[in-house]
Amino acid sequence: MSRMIGREEGARRRGPALDVVVVGGGMVGAATALALGRAGFATALVESREPAPWQREHEVDLRVVGLAASSIRLLDELGVWPAIREARACAYERMHVWDAASGAAIDFDAGREGLAALGYIVENALVQSTLWQALDGAGVQRVCPAEVAGFEAREDRIDVALADGRSLAARLLVAADGAGSPLRTLAGIDTRGRDYAQRGVVAHVTTEQPHEFTAWQRFLPGGPLALLPLADGRSSIVWSLPEDEAARALALDEAAFCGELGVAIDFRLGRITGSSARAAFPLRLQLAERYDAPRFVLLGDAAHAVHPLAGQGVNLGLRDVIELRDTLRDARSAGRDIAAPHVLRRYARRRRSADTLDALGFDTLGRIYAWQAPPLVAARALGVRLIDRFAPLKQRLADHAAGR
């Protein structure tokens, strides 16, 4: 008996074998696990299904992201960006945003800012696959396939029960399990927001004219439409439409869809000459009421889901990763428990404040562009033209979007 008690006391002194368990192996969750592993934290990644390896001969993933400068810096620090860039990534050098109702436009140009690119358009599957391939080299334990059935925070650890009967113990549990986050629900964290009653229709299209390495976005009465340049010369579209219009767009034959899309984008790249298969996803604003609980934090879509009009969703998630890594690293350097309440509050306070400001900013921008009354359209056009001409404010917007 005394030997058993001694072992238990020794285990308590040593603490759990793992520092962090990350749940959710999507792009943000995998980046979290890799960042913490590279920073020297004993980390495990729990995911229900390992992603299929990305292969160049596969069709371009319909889900693409626009990576801002802050995201690229993180991926470069993690040692994965060169492989992603060389595989199939497309730099965009310019951005042109205009209002269908007034024609007022704002332009951003990397060359004018002394940059090689404003960002890169990359497939989700490529980024996720590359991150997964790097996990072993960072010492990250992959627990896959597996699902979390429950967890319990204790004084010195958090115990994580898996659905197959296994268990893990760590100092900290990180939920990166998506907008519908089961872990967020288990932690008793509520969300607020609103359903946009819209769907984002996505496809890859060929156009009569080259995309000019430019991200094009037109604000229409029903929602924004973006054409994003792809490395193979096509453009990826994200077309925000009311749900009934989205269903109709998905049901059109290819010729009719291309014709309507050409009109919607004002034939900016000439006629739309072909389209891949199409898909759609629901659009919603959702913010977690808090980002932390005892020995538990949220990040990525589990913490915030935003409208895609600014293309910032995954960039916000990767900024969460940076903040969490740096916060835990600072706590360790100071000899503190990395999951102490005040440590997690620091992460939660900083990221929830920044994410909320961005999410509500995108929401407000969408509401403003939904105005169709002539006086309001005129006021909106005046504001856009002033911003485009006022270099300091325009530069500030560009820096914020880039995470600088």
Tell me: the pLDDT tens digits for 326-337?
999 999 999 999
Using CA atoms of 88, 201, 240, 312 in order, give the dihedral in degrees to the nearest 10. Answer: -30
Task: Tell me 270's DSSP state.
Answer: B
Q: Tens digit of pLDDT for each residue in 159-205?
A: 999 999 999 999 999 999 999 999 999 999 999 999 999 999 999 99
Q: Tens digit of pLDDT for each residue in 271-296?
A: 999 999 999 999 999 999 999 999 99
Structure tokens at 87: 């595989």
Integer CA distances (angstroms), 222 to 101, 197, 323, in order: 11, 11, 36
Exposed/middle/buried for residue 63 (C-beta within 10 Å: 0-12, 13-18, 19+): middle
Looking at the predicted structure, is the pLDDT value of residue 47 above 70? yes
Using 50, 70 and 90 to split pLDDT, how confident is the model at 15?
Answer: low
Residues 2-10: what's their mean pLDDT? 32
- Tell me the pLDDT of the chain averaged across its residues: 91
Q: Could you give the domains of the chain?
A: 10-402 (3.50.50.60)
More confident residue, 386 or 9: 386
The predicted pLDDT at position 341 comes to 97
The predicted pLDDT at position 402 comes to 64
Q: Give me the percent of the chain exceeding a pLDDT of 70.
A: 92
Lowest-confidence pick of 20-34, 107-121, 139-153: 107-121
Separation CA 394–CA 91 (nearest Å): 21
Lowest-confidence pick of 8-12, 142-146, 156-160, 329-333: 8-12
The predicted pLDDT at position 3 comes to 28
Residues 18-26: what's their mean pLDDT? 98
The predicted pLDDT at position 11 comes to 38
Separation CA 236–CA 215 (nearest Å): 10
Looking at the predicted structure, is the pLDDT value of residue 13 above 60? no
Separation CA 219–CA 309 (nearest Å): 9
| Segment of 12-26, 58-72, 287-301 carrying the highest mean pLDDT | 287-301
Separation CA 240–CA 263 (nearest Å): 15
DSSP string, 152-204: EE-SS-EEEEETTS-EEEEEEEEE---TT-HHHHHTT--EEEEEEEEEEEEEE
More confident residue, 86 or 372: 86
End-to-end Cα separation, the chain, in angstroms:
59
* Residue 78, φ and ψ in degrees, nearest 5: -80, -5
Residues 239-247: what's their mean pLDDT? 96
